[in-house]
Structure 1
């Protein structure tokens, strides 16, 4: 059987044209494919975008600059081919303010720089400074960031660790020959000094040149914010919350539910009347109380679905209708159902689609002496028992109940503490006043 030919991907977006001036000083606009390398006419320091005749401008003798809105729809391959012959340099910075570009009012997105490499490849370069040598190696960092980039249709081409100034750490180590025994101590001292000093983690993000620049911009921004969120180690609840605040919804795809993270596809139906509504309120309160009874900051995110293969891995985004996400009602339910109230609780929504959002409930680590947190109501054998209370805790990505023996232990410990406090108060009252 003959193999089926796969049609090449069609370029997305609009083209960038090259501006050239002829011998008489007239402006000529050419598409990248129309530019002849032998052409001796003077090239402009700017480039045009054929949708609305907008321009990518150069700031004085500095980098190219363009507003985010106007370059998102540009074809990456066209941009790369147009800028590749530019004698003034190839860096492109994105301005987040509204057009036109104003040098005095720039609001640059400094998380990344777009650069044309290898003649025409457009890459996003991210540089994040770490206070010390990163815990993970460059290979491990690339593996983690590759998952994030893939959610945006991008790839991590390279991850490099550099010392401030751009020197690779291995260059300093190479000053002491590895084969010489006398240099062993010097190499060890140098390595220790390097590990304790600041490091720049430089990440290169690329995507297919048939795509629009917006795909690379979104992927680079998500990778940059994820890298910042994991400076101190693996992603945690605070990092996840900040990624949602930045609307990097794809950055959570591939993460696994854990002691700090749980996702739900739909919102608990707390607005329903009767038994269904009571059941939903208890389930919501239990989901939050599980985290409050833990020992780490945690976050419950509503608007994601797990993968069908199991493993508690987040598979895809499932935003919820805004009409179902009443944060005031959610807080009212949690305050009424959880005893004592959870301190520092945050409830936030993040627009993810038209009239749809993702909701996050952030639960800071609670004082040990305030645990366990109780929930008014129990669901036993499918029945709602409103007169009872429940104590639930989280272990890994699952939940465990608190046994009667543990509850008894809590009560005994509390009574011992109160008895000790009363005894101290009685002794203090019997002590003679000064001067007696």
Structure 2
């Protein structure tokens, strides 16, 4: 686990100065104070258009915030001057990188600006403040999951970890896969949360793009959270291998389709440590009595499900962005991951924030280990901005695709060499929001 603690990093002075000039106060909030904690959580709920949280939900939801660095913006001229008009929080999490190692990632969450305070530079101050704070703490990477995909590229973030939504017509798809040995067992909700945490912590280190979860995240999937309107609909099972070892968990809800006594299964989470566990849990879902359709989101692009059914046209796959990354320390980030082919190139990186701008020589040896140094030669093989390089980092985005979109400037042979080197096996994935 990481040794960095975001809570020790003070509010960014430049963001504080810029917002003060607009009559706004930008500060780190202490959520050990109950009134402050409630105001912060209510502002977050409002920012994401959620319902007003009740006392039980506020008490429950406070726990993870206490482990994070919570920033609020206040407008002292407003009637509710003690209520935040903007929020963001952060913590440092290990990000699994290609090759199985991890890098410290400054995780950014709950970025909200009140509808009454748009177009005042608040979002910019929040995000740039987080990047400067992360860099000052020594985090080589920042990351987030987003509700709007058009905002974050300007700050150097790239959509690095795609996800797939699967919509399965069970009757058409059928089952054509294996029937793994082992057993499936129903679990109570508290037990599901325990099992999710155990399996996810073991499985996440095997796939780049994954980050560590936390207890209330697993309880949220399992229907334990008091703010979950569907909590009473949540069911789940676990898979034990032939030796009785826990290897996978499936959590889902069922909804009847228009009074037909036929049902749709919505997969909240399927986490598996082995191929057998994945297959066994998918088989359980697709062969469930009275279920006609199964939906699941945040699946990896190399999920085996389309190859486990008889008719692949019964599985609709919709690829979308999910995990966004932003490199802050280019030598530290690139040397932390493993590459899939040798490489020796000079990259010119453009970075309007100034963290990574310059010419860099990236050398990868036969074992996939990289070294990065400032390039002294004037010969540049490829030019891109930092959002493009950040998108490539986890190995789930092709250089050729970005080159075709005009995001990477390089000769065709250079792009091919970069593609071979940056490719990741397995494909990157991120199965949670944070």
TM-score tier, shorter chain, comes to under 0.3
* Structure with max Cα Rg: 1
Q: TM-score, normalised by structure 2?
A: 0.22
| Greater relative CO, 1 or 2 (CA 8 Å, sep 6+) | 2
